[in-house]
Amino acid sequence: MAYETGMRLSKCIKRRALVLLVSCSVCGAQSLRQAADHAGVLIGTAVRPSQLSEANYASTVAREYNMIEAEDVMKWWVLRPDEASFDFRQGDELVRFAQSHGMKVRGHCLVWGRYNPDWLTQGHFTTEQLSRLLHEHITNVMKHYSGQVFAWDVVNEALDENGNVRDSIWYNQPGIGMSSKETAYIEQVFRWAHEADAHALLFYNEAEGEGMNRKSDAVYAMVKDFRQRHVPIDGVGLQMHVPVEMDIERMAAQLQANLTRLASLGIQVHITELDVSAPLNAKGNSRSEDLMRQAEVYRSVVRACLDSLGCTAIQTWGFTDKYSWIGSHSHGARGNALPFDRAYMPKASYRAILQELSADRPSRQLHASP
């Protein structure tokens, strides 16, 4: 039975691959950006400013996307080299690129328990000092980018796989003085962010919480509580770093259910870090059937977003396999996770995204701006 099911799925994927290849007349000569503008959704990618000097990199970003986000250069360890100073040069370069090409900028991220600079994590600061530093950081960064960054991942990955608040320098090591109140420190951070820039959209961003599980239940419960008590939170970011081997139908159904319940809270949802990794052989290549299956994962995620009026943005974590984080993270075991290959050629995944964005649907009003 498992073999027969696998064969049916393989034939289905091959048929869909043929459709992808022969029906791009539906897509015409449009880019993802053009199709997304027409569909009423933001299509974005994480960007490394250091690569913008590469002509193919910069031209692909400008042509294909209407939103960009910094992979690293708006994080603490880049923006704040020491306690006394801020370095906005790389972040400003990204903003200038976006402005020159009529793109929106997402900010990522103000508060995270990981990848903070040594001077902060090893500084033996007291709770009172950490609270002051964090408030100061949020205020300075958000005011610097006020009117330039339309949405921020205010807090990133604060919950563990069981939905409990994760140990961190901001929560309880030693924290900013609210470790006995669980999500209270997250609430405080959102209040500080809103004070710094009342016009920016404020998001909680989380990994492995796109389906229906204990973590996503905890995110939903936290946001529901915040909304009921008028804590200034505008949205949830679902990262979606997923493997090609996943059960596509189950993933799509759970994602749709989660999008529906989050939207019922009156917030927006952004897909923030989407990539779909595939196994690599010794030469760094993936099987063609895995790449076709990858296209179906991308298609399902885009479809789920477009079918939910609360989902207003779809963003991949990078766009070309040339610069994906997956290879180094998996020690070369996985990769080829993005819509463009290493030569900036569109893959089946790109065509699946474009087709889905171009499909006829009831009109959506693009309301991702504050």
Q: What residue type is 95 in one-letter code? A: V
d(CA 106, CA 329) in angstroms, rounded, equals 24
Residue 141 has pLDDT above 80, yes or no: yes
* Phi and psi, residue 62, nearest 5°: -65, -35
User: Which CATH code, of 3.20.20.80, 3.20.20.10, 3.30.43.10, 3.40.50.880, is assigned to 77-234?
Assistant: 3.20.20.80
Same CATH topology for 26-66+240-370 and 77-234? Answer: yes
Give the residue extent of every domain in the chain: 26-66+240-370, 77-234
Per residue in 102-140, pLDDT tens?
999 999 999 999 999 999 999 999 999 999 999 999 999
d(CA 10, CA 293) in angstroms, rounded, equals 9
Q: Is the Cβ–Cβ distance between 300 and 252 less than 8 Å? A: yes
- Record the tokens describing residue 259, joined without a space: 């999008």
Nearest to 72 by CA among 115, 121, 119, 122: 115
| pLDDT value for 14 | 45
Q: What is the mean pLDDT of residues 218-240?
A: 98
Nearest to 46 by CA among 190, 219, 237: 237
**Residue 157 is among the residues annotated as catalytic for this protein:** yes
Selecting among 64, 273, 296, 356, the annotated active-site residue is 273
Q: What percentage of the chain exceeds 70 in pLDDT? A: 90
pLDDT band at residue 13 using 50, 70 and 90 as cut-offs:
very low
pLDDT band at residue 363 using 50, 70 and 90 as cut-offs:
low
Per residue in 38-85, pLDDT tens?
999 999 999 999 999 999 999 999 999 999 999 999 999 999 999 999
User: In sequence order, what are the residues at sequence separation of 6 or more whose Cβ sits closer than 8 angstroms to the Cβ of residue 203?
Assistant: 151, 152, 153, 154, 233, 234, 235, 236, 237, 268, 270, 272
| pLDDT value for 361 | 83
Per residue in 264-283, pLDDT tens?
999 999 999 999 999 999 99
Residue with tokens 């990618």: 45
Least confidently predicted of 21-35, 79-93, 171-185, 303-317: 21-35
Q: Supply the mean pLDDT for the chain.
A: 92
* C-alpha pair distances (Å), 172 with each of 125, 166, 176, 178, 191: 12, 9, 8, 8, 19
Least confidently predicted of 118-122, 153-157, 363-367: 363-367
| pLDDT value for 104 | 98
The pTM of this model reads 0.91
Selecting among 69, 71, 157, 356, the annotated active-site residue is 157
Look at 9 and 139; give whichever has higher pLDDT. Answer: 139
Look at 28 and 361; give whichever has higher pLDDT. Answer: 361
Is the domain spanning 26-66+240-370 CATH 3.20.20.80? The answer is yes
